[in-house]
Amino acid sequence: MHKAARETTSFCAALRERLAGLDGMEAVVCPPYTSLDEAVGALAGSGIAVFAQNAHWAAEGAFTGEVSPPMLAELGVTGSLVAHSERRQLFAETDASAAQRIGGVLDAGLRVIACVGETETEREAGETDAVLRRQVEAIRDAVEADDRHRLALAYEPVWAIGTGRTASPGQAEEAHALIRSLLDVPILYGGSVKPENAEDLLSQPDVDGALVGGASLDVDSFASICETAAALSRS
C-alpha cells in the first residue's frame, strides 16, 4: 500500500527511462488499484507489464469492495498477484480461495503470479516441505494445462518478508526445486531481495526471477535488480 497516482506516474516514468533497451528479463510493477490506470498509461509500449496486487474470482456480482479480473483487463492490466503472504496472513486467504482467484484471473485471459511459502513456526517445526506441497498442489489442481504458460509461482519464506532476513541461496534453491517437481512453471524468489543479494539468489538453477518487496519502491534499487537479472540471463 504505497504510491498514490501522482507518485506512481513519476516512478513509472523514471523506471521506463532506466530500463529502456534492457534485454534478457521482464519487469512487472504491481501498484495499488487506485494507481493502476496511471501505471498503464506511463508504461504503455515500454515492455514493462502492469499487474494488480489481488483480484476476485468472479467476473461480477455482490462482492462489495472487490475488483474483478475483467475490470482489470479493461484498464489494460495484464495480470495479478494472488495469495501474497500478507493476503494469507492478514486477510484470511486460504488455499481454496487462492485457487478460485487464480482460476478467475486466468479465465479472464490475464496472467498470474501465485505466492506460496512457510511461516517461521512452520519452518522451525520441519513442515516446510509439507506446507509447500499443500499450497502448490492446490494451485496445480486449479489450473488447466493449457493455461500454465500464463502462470508463475513466487516462493515467499514468510519469515524473510519485511524482516531484513533472507533465505540463503541454498535454502531458496532447495524450496524452488521442490516446487518445480510439483509444478513446472517459472518460479520467483520473494523475501527481502535487494541489490546486494540479487546476484547470489538469481544465480541458483531453479530461481527464475524475483518478487521484490521494499526494494522495489526505489527506482534505482529496483532497476539495479532488473539489471542483475538481465546480466545473468546473458551469461
128-142 vs 169-182: helix crossing angle, rounded to 10: 40
Rounded distance, CA 235 to CA 227, Å? 12
Check if 84 is active-site: yes
Query: Scanning the structure block, which residue is given the C-alpha cell 501505471?
Result: 39
**Total residues found in the chain within this entry:** 235
Strands (E), the chain: 28-29, 49-52, 79-82, 111-116, 151-155, 187-189, 209-210
2 included as an active-site residue: no
Interatomic CA distance for residues 231 and 195, integer angstroms: 13
Catalytic residue among 84, 93, 118, 176: 84
Report residue 225 as a C-alpha cell: 535488480
Choose among 107, 117, 111, 181: nearest CA to 152: 111
Q: Which helix (H) or strand (E) holds 80?
A: strand 79-82
Helix, strand, coil percent values for the chain (each to nearest 5): 50, 10, 35
Q: Do residues 117 and 158 make contact, with C-beta atoms less than 8 angstroms apart?
A: yes
- Choosing from 38, 93, 156, 173, the catalytic residue is 156
With helix as H, strand as E and coil as C, how does 81-126 read? EECCHHHHHHCCCCHHHHHHHHHHHHHCCCEEEEEECCCHHHHHCC
Positions annotated as catalytic residues are 84, 156
